[in-house]
Amino acid sequence: MLKLAQRRMPGLEAAIVPGADHIAAMSQPEDVNGQIIRFLQKGGADKNGDR
């Protein structure tokens, strides 16, 4: 599924969270928060979803 999304949305960034279940932000909050912080520090996405 991820590879299909990456083909359809060039520039898509994704992270695999080892040991996470369906709600990764609840089961692995430190890892998810770290990924979000790194994304935002790099500039995140603008309001149109472009990088």
Cα–Cα distance measured from residue 47 to residue 33, given in angstroms and rounded to the nearest whole number: 21
Question: For residue 49, what are its two tokens?
Answer: 């979803």
pLDDT digits (tens, 9 = 90+) for 3-26: 899 899 988 888 888 888 889 999
Cα–Cα distance measured from residue 27 to residue 7, given in angstroms and rounded to the nearest whole number: 28
What is the model's pTM?
Answer: 0.66
Domain ranges across the chain: 2-41
Coarse DSSP helix, strand, coil percentages of the chain, rounded to the nearest 5 percent: 45, 0, 55
Cα–Cα distance measured from residue 8 to residue 23, given in angstroms and rounded to the nearest whole number: 24
> Which value, in Å, is the radius of gyration of the alpha carbons in the chain?
12
Statement: residue 36 has pLDDT above 90: yes
